[in-house]
């Protein structure tokens, strides 16, 4: 694929960059730039801005609000959003559920849920992993028993990102315990306000609530919320995971993080010289950038494949494998570059009424650079990237068995 941008591409890039500079609220840009998580409020505000411009769901078909962009335009848009410190769009809702409903949903399901996503009224979380069924989804135990016009769901889901503010969950459930593991699973859409649903927060090593465990106790789900066919939810799940693997390459995030690392390296000094002037650090930057460019080119090839109508094959697992490791390495290099400023604290979680400075003295706050405050918390958060969405070990097994035929 020709990677060179045309004059039209460059004009489009300028249009996107100008839009971001003009429309992205300054307070949101600052928080994202400094490494803090984009919460529901910031994400909602940015979604509303994108929706007003018609750019919230560019990869969807035009009839459902898609922008009609080609592969390069989508690539440029994602890159400029990352470099402009925009909050990431809610990928679970837009990049995963949306395409699945468009492909497998009934007309009633599409009419009910897709406009609500476009109007930023509803948010989704993913009910896949369970305490005893993480990367091995086929061993899930959450059960859905048919009772007239409804399913009665009992079980538990874990590592549920944004479950605390999701309005709905798409959920894998077992509807036939006598069938082979992958043949007795169905895909349900569940309203999180339904009686019998409770959520327990899971706090990560950085103190943030990154995940949740969701409990389902006799939850009544209408049969009309079944996507595709009963006991054939595995087909839907695989399709969704293809989109997830593509999104979890984290190319945009890595570009943003590497750009920030270069900015820090132009300021932080060692031995009287800035890091960017020192050969050993320039070599580290060059190695990271080489890996990023190779990953970026590979992602473009997969996107082009999907645009041509071809299905993504198991080799897409390489994107998640390589991308998750790369962003970890960039964030670790950032903490290393900060030296003392990279010590593991984060003011947004440290502050409390009983200890308003989180153990810090007043003078400590005066000398802390803005770019250091979120560095360590971001590094800690990234440790989950090689586990969530299918661990690196699972990705290697998938490629070894299904791609290399070992």
The size of the chain, in residues, is 406
d(CA 308, CA 293): 23
Residue 244 known to be catalytic? yes
d(CA 79, CA 187): 33
Q: Buried (b) or exposed (e) across 371-386, using 16+ Cβ within 10 A?
A: bbbbbbbbbbbbebbb
DSSP string, 194-223: STTEEEEEEE-TTS-EEEEEEEEEEEEEEG
Alpha-carbon distance values, 67 to 143, 146, 257, 269, 318 (Å): 39, 40, 27, 45, 28
Alpha-carbon distance values, 300 to 116, 255, 295, 330 (Å): 30, 15, 9, 21
d(CA 187, CA 97): 11
Task: Say if CB 84 and CB 160 are below 8 A apart.
Answer: no
Q: 61 is written with which tokens?
A: 């078909």
DSSP string, 273-318: EEGGGSHHHHHHHHHHHHHHHHHHHHHHHHHHHHHTTPPP-GGGHH
Q: How many CB atoms lie within 10 A of CB 47?
A: 22
Element (H, E) at 101: helix 98-104
Query: Which one of 130, 242, 244, 268 is the catalytic residue?
Result: 244
Task: Say if CB 228 and CB 175 are below 8 A apart.
Answer: no
Query: What angle in degrees, to the nearest 10, is found between the helix axes of 26-33 and 40-53?
Result: 120
Indicate the SS3 state at residue 365: helix
Tell me 86's DSSP state: P
Q: Which residues participate in catalysis according to the annotation?
A: 244
């Amino acid at each position: 694929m020709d990677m060179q941008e045309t004059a039209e591409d460059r004009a489009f890039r300028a249009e996107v960059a100008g839009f971001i500079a003009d429309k992205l609220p300054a307070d949101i840009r600052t928080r994202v730039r400094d490494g803090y998580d984009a919460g529901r409020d910031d994400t909602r505000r940015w979604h509303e801005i994108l929706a007003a411009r018609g750019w919230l769901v560019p990869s969807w078909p035009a009839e459902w609000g898609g922008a009609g962009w080609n592969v390069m335009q989508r690539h440029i848009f994602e890159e400029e959003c990352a470099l402009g410190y925009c909050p990431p769009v809610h990928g679970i809702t837009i990049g995963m559920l949306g395409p699945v409903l468009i492909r497998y949903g009934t007309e009633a399901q599409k009419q009910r849920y897709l406009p609500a996503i476009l109007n930023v009224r509803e948010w989704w979380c993913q009910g896949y992993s369970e305490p005893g069924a993480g990367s091995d989804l086929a061993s899930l135990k959450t059960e859905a028993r048919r009772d007239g016009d409804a399913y009665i769901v009992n079980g538990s889901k874990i590592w549920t990102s944004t479950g605390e503010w999701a309005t709905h969950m798409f959920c894998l459930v077992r509807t036939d315990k006598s069938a082979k593991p992958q043949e007795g699973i169905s895909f349900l859409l569940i309203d999180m306000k339904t009686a019998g649903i409770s959520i327990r927060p899971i706090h990560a090593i950085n103190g943030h609530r990154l995940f949740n465990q969701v409990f389902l106790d006799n939850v009544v789900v209408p049969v009309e919320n079944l996507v595709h066919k009963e006991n054939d939810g595995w087909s839907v799940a695989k399709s969704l995971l293809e989109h997830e693997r593509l999104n979890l390459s984290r190319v945009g995030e890595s570009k943003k993080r590497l750009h920030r690392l270069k900015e820090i390296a132009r300021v932080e000094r060692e031995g009287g010289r800035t890091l960017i002037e020192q050969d050993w650090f320039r070599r580290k930057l060059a190695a990271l950038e080489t890996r990023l460019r190779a990953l970026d080119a590979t992602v473009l090839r997969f996107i082009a494949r999907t645009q041509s109508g071809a299905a993504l094959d198991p080799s897409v697992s390489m994107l998640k494998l390589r991308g998750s490791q790369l962003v970890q390495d960039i964030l670790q290099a950032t903490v290393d570059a900060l030296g003392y400023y990279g010590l593991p604290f984060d003011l947004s979680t440290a502050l409390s009424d009983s200890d308003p400075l989180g153990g810090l003295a007043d003078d400590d706050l005066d000398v802390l650079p803005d770019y250091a405050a979120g560095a360590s918390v971001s590094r800690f958060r990234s440790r989950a990237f090689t586990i969530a969405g299918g661990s690196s070990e699972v990705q290697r097994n998938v490629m070894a068995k299904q791609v290399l035929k070992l």
